[in-house]
C-alpha cells in the first residue's frame, strides 16, 4: 500500500464469532472451565484476530525504531542525545536488554534508523530509513512537518509489510530515542484528554525538580501548538517523534493484515495510540505486554481498552516488556494446541469442575 489512507481503510474489525469456537475448544480441555484465566483469553483473542479457530506458534519479530528528539535540548532527559547512537550499536551487537529477552522468547530483532542524529556507515543489520536527523525542538516549533511525519509513518508500515511478506505473523515494536518520553507524554495528553502533569513520568530518572521542568515544557508546548485530537497526524507532527510515527505505521500495517501486535510500554503504546486514533479497529489487534512504570501508560491502556499481561515495574522500553509478554503468548498457544481434551484423555468432565 502506497499511503496511510489506504492502510487505514484496510483495517477492519475482526469477526468476534470465532471467539465462541475457540472458547468451546478451551472449555473442552482437561481443566475446570476458565481455570487458565488470561492464558485462555490470549488464545481466544489470537483466534479472533486471525479469523481462525486453529492456532500455531507465531513467528515473531521485534523491530527497534531509533530516532533523536529536538526537545531533549529543553532539559527533559538526564542523558545526552549521543546515547541514542551508542545504543543502536549495542542493539546491533546483540548486547541490549531486548536482544537478551528476544532470544529467550524466540524472536528476531531488527533495528531501524528512522531519525538518529548520526550518519551511519553501511552497518550490517541496520535498516537505513532516516527521514531526518532528529525532530526539531517542539518547545519552540513543530517537531516535524506533516510531510515528514507521514514519511516516518510509512517507514514503519513498509518495514512491517516486508516482515509479514517473509512470514512473520506477530510483530513487536521497540524504541530508542533520548527525549522520547516527553514527546509521548505530550501526545498522550492530547489524545487521552489529560493534562501533561497527569501523564508525564520521570523517563530516564529525573528528580522532582527535573520532572516539574518537564511538565512545564509540555504545558508550554501544548499551549503553543494547540494540537487537535481529531487530527492524530497533526498531533504527531506538532509534538511527536520519528520513531513514534514509525511505530504507528508498523501497528497499522499489522492490523491491516490481521496480525497481532504485542506492545511494550509508554513509547510503543504511544505509537499504537496514534494508530488507534486513525483506525479505531486497530486496537483489536493489540496485546499490551506489560504495565510500564511511566504514569501515562495507564491512560493509554484505558484509551485502547487493554489490560497489560504483566506488571514487573519495568520502564526500559526497547520492546523488553513485550518480549516477556511473547513468552505468555507462546504458553497460551501451547495450551490451546497441546492440552488433552476430556474425550482424548478419557476424563469425565463433571469430575473436574469447580
Backbone region of residue 142 per phi and psi (left: phi > 0; alpha: psi in -120 to 50; beta: other values): beta
Check if 318 is active-site: yes
Residues 244, 206, 88, 110, CA torsion sign: negative
CA distances from 212 to 107, 209, 215, 223, 308 (A): 38, 5, 5, 17, 28
- Distance CA(343)–CA(27), nearest Å, equals 12
- 259 phi/psi in degrees, rounded to 5: -105, 140
Which of the residues 41, 243, 284, 318 is marked catalytic? 318
Find cell 487530527 and name the residue: 231
SS3 285: helix
Backbone region of residue 45 per phi and psi (left: phi > 0; alpha: psi in -120 to 50; beta: other values): alpha
CB-count burial class (<10 Å; 0-12, 13-18, 19+) for 93 = exposed
- Distance CA(340)–CA(338), nearest Å, equals 6
- 77 phi/psi in degrees, rounded to 5: -140, 150
- Distance CA(91)–CA(262), nearest Å, equals 19
- Distance CA(242)–CA(153), nearest Å, equals 8
CB-count burial class (<10 Å; 0-12, 13-18, 19+) for 227 = buried
Q: Encode burial over 42-61: b for 16+ CB neighbours within 10 A, e otherwise.
A: bbbbbbbbbeebebeebebb
**Which residues are known catalytic residues?**
318
Amino acid at each position: 500500500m502506497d499511503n496511510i489512507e489506504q492502510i487505514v481503510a484496510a483495517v477492519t474489525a475482526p469477526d468476534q464469532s470465532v471467539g465462541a469456537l475457540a472458547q468451546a475448544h478451551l472449555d473442552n480441555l482437561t481443566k475446570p472451565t476458565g481455570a487458565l484465566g488470561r492464558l485462555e483469553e490470549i488464545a481466544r483473542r489470537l483466534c479472533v484476530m486471525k479469523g481462525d479457530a486453529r492456532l500455531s506458534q507465531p513467528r515473531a519479530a521485534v523491530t527497534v525504531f531509533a530516532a533523536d528528539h529536538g526537545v531533549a535540548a529543553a532539559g527533559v532527559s538526564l542523558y545526552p542525545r549521543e546515547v541514542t547512537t551508542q545504543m543502536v550499536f549495542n542493539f546491533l551487537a546483540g548486547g541490549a536488554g531486548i536482544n537478551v529477552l528476544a532470544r529467550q522468547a524466540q524472536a528476531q530483532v531488527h533495528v531501524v534508523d528512522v531519525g538518529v542524529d548520526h550518519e551511519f556507515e553501511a552497518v550490517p543489520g541496520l535498516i537505513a530509513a532516516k527521514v531526518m536527523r532528529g525532530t526539531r525542538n517542539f518547545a519552540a516549533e513543530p517537531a516535524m512537518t506533516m510531510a515528514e511525519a507521514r514519511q516516518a509513518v510509512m517507514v514503519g508500515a513498509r518495514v512491517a509489510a516486508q516482515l509479514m511478506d517473509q512470514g512473520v505473523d506477530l510483530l513487536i515494536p521497540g524504541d530508542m530515542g533520548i527525549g522520547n518520553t516527553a514527546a509521548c507524554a505530550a501526545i498522550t495528553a492530547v489524545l487521552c484528554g489529560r493534562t501533561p502533569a497527569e501523564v508525564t513520568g520521570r523517563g530516564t530518572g529525573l528528580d522532582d525538580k527535573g520532572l516539574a521542568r518537564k511538565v512545564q515544557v509540555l504545558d508550554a508546548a501544548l499551549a503553543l501548538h494547540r494540537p487537535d485530537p481529531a487530527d492524530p497526524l497533526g498531533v504527531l507532527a506538532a509534538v511527536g517523534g520519528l520513531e513514534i510515527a514509525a511505530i504507528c505505521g508498523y501497528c497499522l500495517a499489522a492490523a491491516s493484515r490481521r496480525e497481532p501486535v504485542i506492545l511494550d510500554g509508554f513509547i510503543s503504546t504511544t505509537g499504537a495510540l496514534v494508530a488507534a486514533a486513525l483506525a479505531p479497529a486497530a486496537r483489536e489487534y493489540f496485546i499490551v505486554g506489560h504495565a510500564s512504570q511511566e504514569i501515562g501508560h495507564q491512560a493509554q491502556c484505558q484509551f485502547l481498552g487493554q489490560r497489560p499481561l504483566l506488571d514487573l515495574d519495568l520502564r526500559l522500553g526497547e520492546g523488553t516488556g513485550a518480549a516477556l509478554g511473547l513468552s505468555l503468548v507462546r504458553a497460551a498457544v501451547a495450551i490451546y494446541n497441546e492440552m488433552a481434551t476430556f474425550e482424548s484423555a478419557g476424563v469425565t468432565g463433571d469430575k473436574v469442575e469447580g
